[in-house]
Structures are given as structure tokens and as C-alpha cells.
Amino acid sequence: MNSTSKKSASNDMLKRLAQPNTWLLALVAVVVPNLIFLLATPYFLVYRLVSPPLYFLAAMISLWLRPPFVYVLFGLVAIIDLSLVVAVMFYLPLATAFHTIRYLASIDVAASAFYIGAISLFLFNALGTAWLVNRHRKALCAASPLPAAILAAALPVADGYVNRSYVKQPASHFESAMALNGLDAESITKRGRNLLIVIVEGLGSFSDPGMKALLASKFESAAVKAGYSVLSGRSNFEGSTTSAESRELCGRWGNFTDYLRAEQYDCLPRQLAERGFATISYHGYSSEMFDRDVWYPRIGIKESHFLDDLARDRQLFPSRCGSVFNGLCDGEVGDAVHLRLLAKSAQPMIVYWLTLNSHIPYVAKPGGQLHCRTNEAVIKNQRVCELTEIWAEVFDKISEIAADPKLPSTDILVVGDHTTPLWEKRAAVAFTRGKVDWYFLQTRQSAQTQLTNLSRP
């Protein structure tokens, strides 16, 4: 190609880039499907690092499809978009997120106005874009895709930059509340006491020490009445709730899919069962959720109690709590845990309780102890305040268990699973990225370990 031809081709390219059709394509394929989320960025956390290129790609493919199929394609992209947002917000690795799709039938999405609104927004946004593509198909076919492609690639970069202070980075090293407090099979056996482990749904690490002290104060009566030494700290987390179970019960990063491949795993419950401990668990939701009925026995939990069997006792469990994850109320499950610890046993026990009611979307407690919907609210951000009320109920129940004079000698470890997935930025800053708080109530006999078991700041 001679210089004249090159110059002519360059001029043709510039003319094509300057055409209104080219910028119409950028508007329809990139700006429109992302505009609502761009406008929300200063106030809300919606991680959509893959979504802008997906919508651009869908728009380009749509130019070759019949109009009805364009709506189908954009509907699928909306589902992928929403699924990726949820996976990131709930700390689910991509492979695990796709694995969990089959559990959707176990939850009641329609029970949450927030979820219904979010699904409607994503679908309306995608189908509106599909309508524009069909309406302007002829003009878009004649457009240069270059500006739209550049913009689609630039938006994720800008999103990552703007939200970088909110994004959790991978943990630098493995850490667990169990390990930080020297709780392994050998030390637990030597102590000769029961151990209650409570993993609290969504309890991250408060940025404000005063907020953390608010929950820690719940244990003061137990410390005075029953002679407990109360330690607290924070540790790293990775992944979602089942990752926290792997962290604390098996001493490694992982999630439930890692315990579905074999019949036995060398986790703490199994190690203690081999040493003569009764290994027991309680959770107020379905045993089939995340296959807990399959892998709990494989890590050594011999006696498990879930919604499936606990709900039969209407006297002990008269209520239901939650919306999307509608199950037993944490307070009532705590009563069952309390009774189990009081039951006479020839064996020492390790009892594991996974809470439920603070799962997002949560149901706020009417007339809660922190007065969250009044001018006297103890915590100013309503979301953080309402969640703390739910956690406070769990802490009250644990304190009640610890202070019971009939309770056999029992150490109690309370730890969050992961930072709460909060969409509102002003709520999210109430927690330290990548950390969860823990509290350890130990009998006075082991109080000398207090200074050596605190977590890193």
C-alpha cells in the first residue's frame, strides 16, 4: 500500500470514528447498561469489573441475531452480571459460586424486597439495552466499534481505582482464631473441658474499638459471675461462611467443596472424636445447604442438628427468623446449645454453633436494644446498628450460657466468618477489610496464656 492509499485509509477511519453512529454504539453498548451503576458508585459498592465488556460483547453479537434473540441474550447477560456481583460481595470464589447455583431452590428470594428490586433493576437495564440495539440496529451495524471497545475496557479500570479502598485483598498468611488461642486437639484434650465454638454470620472486624467494646461488654457478667477471662482480637479471613468453617474447624483455607471428595478429613472434630470427645453441631438452616449433611460427618462431627430436625420441636422452636434465609431464630438455637451443654455426659464435648439471622438480607429487630431507628441510636449508621443488634442477641445468649452455674467447665470461642457484605459505602467503612473479630472466654485456670494468644493488629 503506497503512502496515498495509507493516507486515504487513515482518513476513512477518522471519518468513521467521527460519525454519530460510532458514538451511538458506545452509548448503547457501554454507557446505557452501566449508567445506573456509575451514578451509584459514590454511594454504593457494586463490583462489576467484568460486566462492561460483557454488555459490549453482547451488543456486537446482537447485530447478527434476530430481534427476539437479542432480548434472550441480554437477559442472560443480566443474570451473569447479577451473579458475579453477588459472588464478589459474598466472597465466593468463581468456581464455588457456580457450584452454589443449585442451592437457589433452598432460599426464598421473593421474601426480600431488596432482592426483588435488584433483580428487576438488572433485568430492566439489560432488556432496555436490548430494545435500543434492535431499534438502532442499522445505524449500529455501520458504526466503528473501537471507541465502544476502549470505553468498555476503561470502565472496569476506573471502577477498580475508585473502589480500591473498599476491595478486600487476599490474606497475606493463614490465620484462625483457634490457632491464635492455641486451641488444637492436644491442648483441648489436656484442658479436659468442653469447648463451644460459635461462628457468627457476617461479624467482621469493627474499625471503631468502641463498637467492638459494645459487644465485648456482653461478656462482662459472665467474667464476673463464672470466673472467665475474656480475650479478644482479630484475624484474617478468606472466602465465605463455609471457608470460615474450614478455617476454624480444619485449620486451612478452603470451602465446602474441598470436603466432598473423600470420606474422611483430618480436621479438629475428627481428632477430638478419636480422643473421646462428643462432637456436636447446631445450625438453624437446612442441612442440605452447602451439603453440610454430607461433609460435616466427614470432618468428624458425629451429631448434627439442623432446621430439618430441630423444627419438629415446636415448644423449643416456636418462631422463625429471617427472610431469604428463613430458618430458626438464633436465640432459640442458642437455648438448644445451652441445654446440650448442660446434659450429663461421660465424654467431654466440642459443640459447634453456626448462627444464621445476621445473613444479608437481614430482618431488623423491632424495638431493638440499640434504638437503631430513633434519634437515640447507639450506632449512627442504621445498617451497622441493626446488624449489631442481631449480633448482640447472640452475644447475650452466649453470656447467659457462660454464666450458668450449672454449666460444666467450658471454654467458649466466638468468631466472625467474614466481613458483612454491605452495599452502602458509609456502612462498609465501619469494618476493617480482610479481618474478623474474635472473643475467647476461657476459665481462669488458663488465664496465664492471655498475653501470648492475642491476634496481630
pLDDT digits (tens, 9 = 90+) for 64-123: 999 999 999 999 999 999 988 888 888 877 777 777 777 777 788 878 888 899 899 999
| Closest by Cα among 368, 354, 186 to 274 | 186
Q: How far apart are CA 123 and CA 170, in angstroms?
A: 32
Whether residue 51 contacts residue 35, with contact meaning beta carbons closer than 8 Å, is answered with no
Q: Which segment of 10-24, 134-148, 203-217, 256-270 scores lowest on mean pLDDT? A: 10-24
pLDDT band at 14 (very low <50, low <70, confident <90, very high): low
What residues form DSSP beta bridges with 206?
A: 431
What is the DSSP track for 9-24? HHHHHHHHHHSHHHHH
C-alpha cell of residue 195:
469447648
Q: Which amino acid is at 427?
A: A
Whether residue 351 contacts residue 188, with contact meaning beta carbons closer than 8 Å, is answered with no
Q: At residue 432, does pLDDT exceed 80? A: yes
pLDDT recorded at residue 448: 39
Q: Output the average pLDDT for the chain.
A: 89
| Closest by Cα among 226, 203, 221, 254 to 96 | 254
In terms of Cβ atoms closer than 10 Å to its own Cβ (0-12, 13-18, 19+), residue 403 is middle
- HSE value, Cβ hemisphere, 13 Å, CA-based, for 99: 14
Q: At residue 283, does pLDDT exceed 90? A: yes
| Closest by Cα among 413, 456, 355 to 228 | 413
Please tell me whether the overall predicted TM-score, pTM, comes out greater than 0.85 for this model. Answer: yes
Cis peptide bond N-terminal to 361, omega within 30: yes
pLDDT digits (tens, 9 = 90+) for 148-201: 999 999 999 988 888 877 777 777 789 999 999 999 999 999 999 999 999 999
155 CA to centre of own chain: 25
pLDDT: which is higher, 391 or 161: 391
Across 245-254, 317-326, 441-450, which has the greatest mean pLDDT? Answer: 245-254
Torsion of CA 390, 372, 234, 404, to 10 degrees: -50
Q: How far apart are CA 177 and CA 248, in angstroms?
A: 7
